[in-house]
Amino acid sequence: MNKISLYEYQPTRSARPRWALLEAGIAYESIGNDPSVFGHPDLGTVHPLGKVPAAVINGKPLFESGVICAAIADSVPEKNLIAKPGTWDRYLHDQWVLFVLTEMEAWLWPNILNLAILPQEQRNPACVDQNIGMFKRGANALDAVLGNQDYLVGDKFSVTDIVASFTVNAARRFGYIDDFPNLKQYLDRMFQREHCTLDRS
């Protein structure tokens, strides 16, 4: 039996493992889910930077949302939430998760910091337009793939889509996917899922 504690705060990437846990039907302990989580005395022992999400799974610490989602999905193989280890589809899972995090989210996150999070005096608006351009290169590639299939791996919903759609949705909120109809339709499919944790505002 899985025993999982999740350090979380809903506006952050912790929405990914929360969604995976709900899809998996796994009961878990939620720690935080408000800004006080960042001051939790145990968070730094799970995540070296004191960030969320962080999880303790059967007594073992784990961080990074994509990895936590994979661990959750692997623990309930009967749910088919991730391709089996060693299969080509599992390699495709790894490919698309890494692609979204490095070719899209890596450019999106600095803009979120500089437009919405950092104090005004610490912001660097000069990087924003360049980051948008680099983000859209990745978004264009993902949009093309999703023009031919509804989901990223095996043409069925999986935690691959949980990871990817969080990034796409964050970009939507800044207007960065307005020119990508397949990404918008992809998000519509995600929003229709019962356990979707994406911010729809």
For residues 94 and 20, state if they share a domain: no
CA distances from 171 to 29, 57, 100, 128 (A): 29, 30, 12, 13
Domain containing residue 23: CATH number:
3.40.30.10
Using the Cα atoms of residue 70, residue 47, residue 7 and residue 138 in order, give the sign of their dihedral.
negative
For residues 97 and 182, state if they share a domain: yes
How many separate domains does the chain show?
2
Q: Which of 44, 79, 114 is the last residue of a domain?
A: 79
For residues 75 and 96, state if they share a domain: no
Portion of the chain with pLDDT greater than 70, in percent: 100
Q: Cα–Cα distance between 49 and 61 in angstroms, integer?
A: 13
- Output the average pLDDT for the chain: 96
Instruction: Say whether the peptide bond before residue 53 is cis (omega within 30 degrees of 0).
Output: yes
Q: Which of 79, 98, 118 is the last residue of a domain?
A: 79
pLDDT tens digits for 167-200? 999 999 999 999 999 999 999 999 999 999 999 9
Model confidence at 2, pLDDT cuts 50, 70, 90, reads confident
CA distances from 4 to 28, 33, 69, 138 (A): 5, 15, 12, 33
Whole-prediction pTM value?
0.95
Nearest to 151 by CA among 139, 138, 160, 140: 160
For residues 100 and 186, state if they share a domain: yes
For residues 43 and 117, state if they share a domain: no
For residues 186 and 96, state if they share a domain: yes
Q: Cα–Cα distance between 133 and 128 in angstroms, integer?
A: 9
Amino acid at 37: V
For residues 98 and 161, state if they share a domain: yes
Return the pLDDT at 1.
Answer: 52
Domain hosting 65: range is: 4-79
Pairing of strands 60-63, 29-32: unpaired
pLDDT tens digits for 112-153? 999 988 999 999 989 999 999 999 999 999 999 999 999 999
For residues 58 and 134, state if they share a domain: no
Which ranges in 42-153 belong to alpha helices (H)? Answer: 43-46, 65-75, 88-99, 106-112, 128-145
Element (H, E) at 166: helix 159-172
Residue 108 lies in a domain: yes
Backbone angles phi, psi at 28, to 5 degrees: -150, 165
CA distances from 62 to 15, 71, 175, 192 (A): 16, 9, 33, 29
Percent of residues in the chain assigned helix, strand, coil, to nearest 5? 55, 10, 35
pLDDT tens digits for 18-50? 999 999 999 999 999 899 999 999 999 999 999
Domain containing residue 95: CATH number:
1.20.1050.10
